[in-house]
Amino acid sequence: MNTLMKQIACFRLLCFYSFIIIFSLSFAQAQTIQSSIAQTLPSAGAASYYYIAKPGELTMQVNVWGLVKNPGRYEVSSSTDLIQLLSYAGGPADYAKMDEVKITRTVRNGSTISKQLIVLDLERIDKVEEAKLVLYPGDTIFIDHTIWLGMRDVFSVVATVAIVTTAVTQVISVSRR
């Protein structure tokens, strides 16, 4: 009878911890899927194109990549600046690294074509010169993520491993009694 009670207790613990493990894995996986979808896919689909200009207005095409709510290619008025463009893109997403916004610009000097990288700290927008906010046709704006996004994902994995380890330890402990 004593062995049967141990087996029942072991089975109950195993079921309880299995439920906790499945729930925590599902939660961690849902968070990971949600964060990766938010980073890579805009709400309208994989390839989004936005036209934001008045009829007959001179426009330019620019790209917005990274952690904004609506990344994609934007055709906007040629007078649109960086702040307006980021507003059109829905603003920064959670964990966006706004102190290191990168603009990649193609510069043509006669027959020479080169790329120019401009890095702006939009956390301190009051310190940014107005001229640096001007956009040019073909600019690509990239907003990376902060380290906290990666830390959150690592924490989810560590928490899941801790739960699994605790469950296994408890089952082994009960089965040895």
* One domain for residues 127 and 78: yes
Residue with tokens 């072991």: 10
Query: Domain containing 98: what range?
Result: 43-145
Q: How far is Cα 30 from Cα 73, in angstroms, rounded to an integer?
A: 28
Q: How far is Cα 94 from Cα 128, in angstroms, rounded to an integer?
A: 22
pLDDT of residue 36: 45
Q: How far is Cα 8 from Cα 16, in angstroms, rounded to an integer?
A: 12
The Cβ-side half-sphere exposure at 10, using a 13 Å CA radius, reads 15
The more confident residue out of 6 and 159 is: 159
pLDDT of residue 160: 84
Q: Give pLDDT tens digits for 55-91.
A: 999 999 999 999 999 999 999 999 999 999 999 999 9
Mean pLDDT, residues 90-105 taken together: 94
* One domain for residues 16 and 81: no
Q: Which of 107-121, 126-140, 152-166 has the weakest average pLDDT? A: 152-166
Using DSSP's 3-state secondary structure scheme, residue 92 falls into strand
Residue with tokens 């990344």: 71
* One domain for residues 161 and 101: no
Taking a C-beta distance cutoff of 8 angstroms, is the pair 50, 68 a contact? Answer: no
The CATH number covering residue 139 comes to: 3.10.560.10
Q: How far is Cα 103 from Cα 8, in angstroms, rounded to an integer?
A: 63
Percentage of the chain surpassing pLDDT 90?
A: 49
- The candidate with the shortest Cα–Cα distance to 39, out of 83, 70, 63, 62, is 70
Q: What is the mean pLDDT of the chain?
A: 82
- The candidate with the shortest Cα–Cα distance to 75, out of 50, 93, 103, is 50
* One domain for residues 51 and 69: yes
CB atoms within 10 A of CB 50: 16
Q: Give pLDDT tens digits for 122-150.
A: 999 889 999 999 999 999 999 998 887 77
Structural domain count of the chain: 2
pLDDT of residue 170: 80
pLDDT of residue 1: 53
